[in-house]
Structure 1
Amino acid sequence: MGDSLLTSLNDLPIRDDLRGREPYGAPQLDVPYALNTNENPYPPSAALVNAIGEAVKGVAGSLNRYPDRDAVKLREDLAAFLNRDTPGAGLTGRDVWAANGSNEIIQQILQAFGGFGRTALGFEPSYSMHPIITSVSGTAWINAHRDADFGLDPERAIKAVEEHRPDVVFLTSPNNPTGTALPLEAIEAVLKVAPGMVVVDEAYAEFRRAGTPSALTLLPGNPRLIVTRTMSKAFAMAGTRLGYLAADPAVIDALLLVRLPYHLSAVTQAVARTAITFGDELLDSVNALRRERDDVVAWLRAEGLEVAESDANFVLFGRFADRRGVWERMLDRGVLIREVGPPEWLRVSVGTPEEMAAFRTALKEASKEVGEAGPGGVGGRPPSGERESL
C-alpha cells in the first residue's frame, strides 16, 4: 500500500478517551508451567470430550440456521445447576442470562444501566476489567478502595455509596486478585443504600471454602441485585467462553435491549449444556484444587510470606521489594505467574500437584537469586514484632 499506509494508532480518528490505553491481557507464553490466568488445570475427561463431540455433531447439520437467540434451554440448565449449588435459590431459566464470557455479561450490564453521565463504583484492588469495561462503555469509574486486609468494612462501603450515589456498584466475591470473599452482611449493607444496580461478581464462587455463602441467597426481594458467574473456572471451560448471571427477570428484560442478536453460537450452547451434564465430574477437580490451594497457602506462610485469605483457585502472596525480579527469574525456570494487584505482591493460580511443586522450587530459587531471602524465609518477612502493616 506504499506511503499511504497508516503507521500508527494515533493516525486514526479513535475516541479521545481511548488514546494512550493498553489492551488488557495476561502474558500468553509457551512455558512448562502456566500459572497466571486462573484456569482449571484439569482438562476434560475422555468421556466429556466424546460427549462434546457428539453434541457439536448434533448441531453441525443446522449451522446454516441462526442459533436459539435467547439460549432458552441453556439458561434452564444453568438455573438447575445454580439451584444445586445454592439450595433454596429457586431459580428458573427466566432468572438467568448467558453471554460470551462473563466480560460480555459485564459489558451488557453497563450498556443497560451505565453510559455517559452515569457512574460505576468498585473497591480496588479488584478485577481489572471492571474499570476497563466501565470506561469503554462511557461510564465514569469510581475507585472506593478495599480495606488494608483486602476485605470490605460494611460501614465504609455504605459511606462510599452514599457519597458517590453510583448507578452501578461492583462487589467481587471471591475477589480477584486477592481471593477474598465478602460476608453477606457487607453485600446486604450496600444493597440497602445503593440507588442503582449492585453486581456481585462470583466468577470463583465454586472454589469458596465450606460455609461461605453465595449472594444468590439474597436475590429474593432484591430486584436490583445481579450475581454473575462463569464456566471458565470451576467447569474448566475457559475455551468455551460462557458467562452467565442470575437476577430478577426484569433485569434480563433490560439486557435484551442491548444484547447483540444471536450472540451465543449453536456450538457454544451445545458445548456448555453438555458440560453441565458432567457437573459432578468437573466439580471433583474443584475439590482437589481447594486442597492444593490450602496446602500452598500453608507453605507460603511457613516460608515467611504474607498471604491473603483465599476462597478462589489462586493465591496472592508477598511482599517483595523486587517482585518483577522474582517474576522474571521464575519465568526463567519455566514457571509463569502473575505480576498483578498491589505493589510487592504476586499471584499464583493453583495447578496440579506437579505444577505446584515446580512453583515452590522456582519461588525459593528466584527469591534467593534476587536477594529476597531473609530471617522469615523466602520472602524475607521481618521478625515477629517488626512486620509491616499492609
Structure 2
Amino acid sequence: MSAAAWPPLRDELRGVEPYGAPQLDVPVQLNVNENPYGPSEACVADIAAAAAAAATTLNRYPDREFTALRTELAAYLSRDAGERGIAPAQVWAANGSNEVMLQLLQAFGGPGRTAVSFAPTYSMYPEYARDTSTRWVAGRRADDFALDLDAARDLVKTEQPSVILLPSPNNPTGTALPPEAVGVLCEAAGDEGIVVVDEAYGEFRRGGVPSALELLPSYRNLVVTRTMSKAFAGAGLRLGYLAAAPEICDAIRVVRLPYHLSAVTQAVALAALRHAPELLGKVDDLRRERDALVGWLRAEGYDVADSDANFCLFGRFADRHAVWQGLVDRGVLIRETGPEGWLRVSVGTPDEMAAFRAALSDVNGVRA
C-alpha cells in the first residue's frame, strides 16, 4: 500500500467530506431547524434532578430495553395514532433519529439490497445506505416537490427495494405526504420491503394533515419515525424513536449496540416527556411564524415551497452561495441546501425572523 493510500479507508469513502452544516458564531442562527425556544427553569430543574439520580447508578449498565421510556413514548405517540393507539412493544428509540435510520438500514438493507427515496430528500439518507453497503436509488419528485405517485410506484416495482425512505414533511422542502401515497407504496413494497415515513417535523404539520401513525394497523411493513430534536426543543438530547410492528422492533435488536441508550439519556428523555405540554407549547407560534414567512417571501417575489415543517425552502437564485454569504456577513446564518438555486431558512423567534427579513432585503438591495 502506498503512503498516499494511508489510512486504509474503504475505497468508497476516500475523499468524502463528513456530513455537517456550517457552525458559525453569528447572532441569528436559522440553518439547522432547531426550536428557538429553550426549556423553562422548572423543566431544567427536573432534567437536572433526573440526571443526578441516574448518575448514582452509573456503575451499573442501563436498562437495555429502556422499558419506562418506551412506555412513555408509546403514550405520547398514541395521541396521533387513532383509536388503537401505540403499544410499548411497537416503539424503539436510539441516539437521534439518525441512529434509528442507520439501524433500520443495518437490519433491512445491506449487500444485495436496495434503498429508495425521492429527490430532493434528506441528504443523510444516501449516507445511511453507503455506510451499510446498501444500493441507493433516488427517484424524482414533481416540479412542486410533491410525490408523483404513479412514477413512485413504478420505481418501487422496478427496483424492488428493501427500504423506502419517505420524509413527511420532507426535508429540505417541507412537503407533507398524503395518506394515500403511504398506502400505495406500502402495498407496492409488499412483504419484501419496509416503508419508513420520517416524521422528524411531524408536530409542525398544518391542521388537517394526518400522521402516518394512523396507518400502522393497516400495513405491517410501515415504520414511522419521530425525534425529540425539533418540536420538543431537544436537539442536544439526541433521542429519536419509531413506531412499527413489534416484529420490526425485534429485528432491530439484532443490530443495535449493547446498552445503546445511556441511563442519563433515558432519564433526561423521561423528564422532557413529563414537560411535553410546555416544550411543545411554542409549536403553534412557530407554525404561525412559518406561515407569515411564506407569505412575506412570496410577496417579495420568491418561489416558496409549501411547508408543513419549521422551515421554508425559497428561491430561485442565480448564485445562491452569494446570497447565503451576504446573509452571513449581516449576522444571519441559513442553509445552502436543496435543489440548485434554492435556500432553506429555519423558523425562529419574531426578532430572529425580523433580522432575517431585513438582511435578505439588504442583500437583494445591494445586488440589484
- 1:352 aligns with one of 336, 346, 349: 349
Question: 2:45 maps to which residue?
Answer: 50
- The normalised TM-score by structure 1 is 0.92
Match of 2:96 in 1: 101
| Residue 232 (structure 1) aligned to one of 229, 233, 243 | 229
SS of 2:280's equivalent in the other structure is: helix
Instruction: Give 1:180's aligned residue.
Output: 175
TM-score (norm 2): 0.97
Q: Among residues 138, 149, 154, which one is paired with 2:149 in the alignment?
A: 154
User: What residue identity is the alignment partner of 2:93?
Assistant: A
Matches of residues 137-152 of structure 1 in structure 2 within 5 Å?
A: 137-152=132-147
**Maintained 8 Å contact 2:225/2:241:** yes
* TM-superposed deviation, 1:253: 0.6
Identity %: 60
Give the deviation of 1:89 after TM superposition.
4.5
Q: Does 1:333 align with 2:330?
A: yes
Matched, 1:199 2:196: yes
Establish whether residue 367 from structure 1 lines up as the match of residue 367 from structure 2.
no
> 1:112 — aligned with what?
107
Alpha-carbon deviation of 1:20?
A: 1.9
For structure 1, the residue ranges without an aligned partner over 5 or more in a row are: 1-5, 372-390
Alignment partner of 2:121 out of 126, 136, 140: 126
CA contact (8 A) 1:89 1:216 kept: no
Flag as ranges the 4+ runs of structure 1 deviating above 6 A: none
The offset of 1:257, in angstroms, is 0.2
Conservation of the 8 A alpha-carbon contact between 1:171 and 1:198: yes
Residue 284 (1) aligns with residue 281 (2): yes
Aligned AA (2:310): N
User: RMSD across aligned C-alpha pairs, in angstroms?
Assistant: 1.2
- The 5 A counterparts of 1:166-315 are 166-194=161-189, 195-315=192-312
Instruction: Please point out which of 52, 60, 66 is paired with 1:65.
Output: 60
CA distance in 1, matches of 2:290, 2:66: 35
Higher relative contact order (CA 8 A, sep 6+): 2
Where 1:284 maps in the other structure, the secondary structure is coil
Whether the 8 Å CA contact 1:102–1:242 is kept in 2: the answer is yes
Superimposed CA distance per residue, residues 204-251 of structure 1 (whole angstroms, 9 cap, x where no aligned partner): 000000000111011113111110100000000000000000000000
Provide the rounded CA distance (Å) in 1 between the counterparts of 2:55 and 2:209: 41
Counterpart-to-counterpart distance in 1, 2:147 and 2:296: 26
Cα distance between partner residues in 1 of 2:219 and 2:183: 10
Q: Tell me, in whole angstroms, the C-alpha distance in 2 between the residues paired with 1:210 and 1:65.
A: 45
Contact 1:82–1:89 under 8 Å retained in 2: no
Question: Could you give the per-residue CA deviations for residues 254-289 of structure 1, whole angstroms, max 9, x where no partner exists?
Answer: 000000001011111011011111111111111110
Distance (Å, rounded) in 2 between the aligned partners of 1:179 and 1:215: 16
- Check if 1:323 corresponds to 2:323: no
Which residue in the other structure is 2:6 paired with? 11
Amino acid at match of 1:346: L
Q: How many residue pairs align between the two structures?
A: 365
Cα deviation, residue 86, structure 1: 3.5
Preserved CA contact (<8 Å) 2:170 2:176? yes
What is the rounded CA distance, in whole Å, between the counterparts of 2:84 and 2:212 in structure 1?
10
Unaligned runs of 5+ in 2: none
| Deviation for aligned residue 1:156 | 1.5
Q: 1:326-346: per-residue Cα shift (whole Å, max 9, x none)?
A: 100100000000000001100
CA distance in 2, matches of 1:294, 1:255: 38
CA positional deviation for 1:95: 0.4
SS in 2 for 1:121: strand
The SS at the match of 1:144 is strand
Distance 1:82 1:88 in 2: 12
Asked if 2 retains the 8 angstrom alpha-carbon contact of 1:112 and 1:258, the reply is yes
CA–CA distance in 1 between the matches of 2:367 and 2:323? Answer: 7
Residues 30 and 335 of structure 2 are in contact (CA less than 8 Å); yes or no, is this contact kept in structure 1?
yes
Identify the residue that residue 378 of structure 1 maps to in structure 2: none
Shift of 1:51: 0.5
The answer on 1:22 being equivalent to 2:42 is: no
Q: CA shift at 1:70, angstroms?
A: 1.3
Counterpart CA distance in 2 for 1:133 and 1:87 is 31
Distance 2:261 2:154 in 1: 39
Partner of 1:36: 31
Q: CA deviation at 1:355?
A: 0.3
CA distance in 1, matches of 2:6, 2:150: 48
